[in-house]
């Protein structure tokens, strides 16, 4: 499995979690049950490629945030530094965040219009397969005819 394959697996797993109307719940020592899926997911990561997205993805809003707490080499293993950072996540912070989210005017929000941000374009771009790259690079040639030498380069080797 290559790097992209593992990222594609993440996208496949989350696709049903995001889209399915119902979800199966398997509690320990309890019978399985089906419930309405009310899941909302927010991924927060510092990874350049957290998930592989298809060019026609409609499920993900992707945007890049400015780094507020850049970890320098001197703090990389500094437990105390991260403890202080963790302690700044107080109940007051979460309450303020909740108030902000609850009071935000979303009357004009349309959940079916997910914008194609620059961050999403970049993520889709790095998600392309080598075959996608060849097709994009030689698109004009392919419209006329398919060069066999290029096809042979992309053919899986046994």
Each domain of the chain, given as residue ranges in start order, spans 3-127, 130-158
Strands (E) in the chain, as ranges, are 22-25, 33-36
What is the per-residue pLDDT for 101? Answer: 92
Quote the radius of gyration of the chain (alpha carbons, Å).
22
pLDDT class of 10 with cuts at 50, 70, 90: confident
Which residues have C-beta within 8 Å of that of residue 115, sequence separation ≥ 6?
A: 61
- The distance in angstroms from the start CA to the end CA of the chain is 16
What's the pLDDT score for residue 1? 38
Computed over every residue of the chain, the mean pLDDT equals: 82
Q: Check residues 157 and 85 and name the one with the higher pLDDT.
A: 85
Burial of 53 (0-12, 13-18, 19+ CB in 10 A): buried
Residue 52, classified by CB atoms within 10 Å of its CB into exposed (0-12), middle (13-18) or buried (19+), is buried
pTM of structure: 0.59
More confident residue, 133 or 67: 133
For residue 19, the SS3 value is helix
Interatomic CA distance for residues 55 and 123, integer angstroms: 10
pLDDT tens for 16-71 read: 888 899 999 999 999 999 999 998 888 888 777 888 888 888 888 888 877 666 67
**Does residue 57 contact residue 117 with C-beta atoms inside 8 Å?**
no
């Amino acid at each position: 499995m290559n790097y992209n394959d593992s990222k594609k697996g993440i996208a496949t797993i989350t696709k049903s979690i995001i889209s399915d109307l119902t979800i199966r719940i398997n509690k320990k020592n309890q019978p399985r049950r089906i419930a309405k899926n009310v899941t909302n997911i927010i991924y927060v990561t510092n990874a350049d490629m957290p998930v592989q997205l298809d060019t026609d993805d409609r499920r993900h809003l992707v945007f890049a945030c400015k780094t507020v707490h850049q970890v320098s080499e001197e703090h990389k293993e500094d437990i105390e530094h991260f403890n202080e950072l963790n302690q700044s996540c107080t109940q007051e912070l979460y309450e303020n965040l909740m108030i902000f989210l609850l009071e935000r005017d979303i009357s004009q929000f349309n959940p079916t219009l997910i914008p194609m941000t620059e961050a999403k374009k970049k993520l889709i771009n790095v998600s392309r397969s080598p075959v996608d790259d060849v097709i994009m690079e030689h698109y004009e040639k392919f419209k006329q005819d398919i060069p066999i030498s290029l096809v042979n380069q992309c053919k899986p080797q046994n």
